Amino acid sequence: MKLVRYGVAGEEKPGLLDPQGVLRDASRLVPDWTGRALSTQKLQQLRKQNLDSLPVVEGAPRLGCPLAAVGKIVCVGLNYADHAAETGAATPAEPVLFMKAVTAISGPCDAVQIPPGSSKVDWEVELGIVIGERATRVSEADALAHVAGYVLANDVSERAWQMERGGTWDKGKSHDTFAPLGPWLVTADEVPDPHRIALWLEVNGQRMQSGNTSNFIFGVPTVVSYISQFMTLEPGDVILTGTPAGVGLGQKPAPIFLKPGDVMRLGADGLGEQRQVCVAV
């Protein structure tokens, strides 16, 4: 299933795409797509519903983040060897973790802000993992049973704030609009192998990133299990799994960073596409 939330920012309603790709209002089924609606049992019940009975949503409404009330965003840095190499970092021996503020979340086609005082705003297409079952110290063998589905993400980053302002990454990752998610949450049963997903990103029509999750250093079971050793993952939490080579920081002969007016397009197999215009604030 493809779960969506649509409508004006802050007033989104739950929806889903039926097998024909028609957007339908799911308000009869759930109050919203929160973590409580993503358990294995809830999703199994949802699959038994007659989707043709749900109202069709007319027109082309704005799509928001497909998840409501996200508890936390945990990110894995340097999870593709080619990206680690382009940034001059060594291939990590274990997953590098950082957090991204939930206030950074925005819809897949909302504008991305270029903050005052910023100079190195960058792009990162990523696969996002959405947790459906509580996970505390789970094994790799059991990890996928805790995954509700997957989502396309752009881990927008201000590199000067990330790398030149005291040595912590979170401050460069968490400005408002720095976490576009969506357009939909694809439930895990429709993703045969999360390690065979092609991802891409363009800036102003130029292809900058072309990668595949087959090149993960640490795969999905490893990442979920590893994080759960240090913190409990709750239903509705999101894990961003890292980005392939081609970010602005790694461009040669000189880095390229985003400026107002730039347009990003990105996508991933089966997970849809995003489009963001950069704006000054």
Name all domains of the chain by residue range, CATH numbers in brackets: 69-280 (3.90.850.10)
Element (H, E) at 200: strand 198-203
**pLDDT at 82 (0 to 100):** 84
**pLDDT at 174 (0 to 100):** 97
Contact 129, 270 (CB under 8 A): no
Question: Phi, psi (5° rounding) for residue 144?
Answer: -65, -25
Task: Count Cα neighbours of 215 within 13 Å in the Cβ-side half-sphere.
Answer: 17
d(C-alpha 90, C-alpha 86), whole Å: 10
**pLDDT at 84 (0 to 100):** 82
Considering only CA atoms, which of 24, 12, 30 is closest in space to residue 51? 24
**pLDDT at 236 (0 to 100):** 98
* Residues in the chain, overall count: 281
Question: According to DSSP H, which parts of the chain are helical?
Answer: 40-47, 81-86, 140-143, 159-163, 220-230
d(C-alpha 21, C-alpha 4), whole Å: 12
Considering only CA atoms, which of 273, 280, 237 is closest in space to residue 105? 237
Contact 79, 98 (CB under 8 A): no
Instruction: Quote the tokens at residue 3.
Output: 């779960």
**pLDDT at 67 (0 to 100):** 98
Whether a cis peptide bond, with omega within 30° of 0, leads into 255 is: no
Instruction: Quote the tokens at residue 58.
Output: 């007319």
Per-residue pLDDT of the chain (281 residues; tens, 9 = 90+): 999 999 999 999 999 999 999 999 999 999 999 999 999 999 999 999 999 999 999 999 999 999 999 999 999 998 998 888 888 888 899 999 999 999 999 999 999 999 999 999 999 999 999 999 999 999 999 999 999 999 999 999 999 999 998 877 899 999 999 999 999 999 999 999 999 999 999 999 999 999 999 999 999 999 999 999 999 999 999 999 999 999 999 999 999 999 999 999 999 999 999 999 999 99
**pLDDT at 166 (0 to 100):** 85
**pLDDT at 85 (0 to 100):** 85
- Tally of CB atoms within 10 A around 60: 8
| Termini Cα distance of the chain | 36
Cα–Cα distance list, 128 to 90, 120, 125 (Å): 23, 23, 10
**pLDDT at 167 (0 to 100):** 74
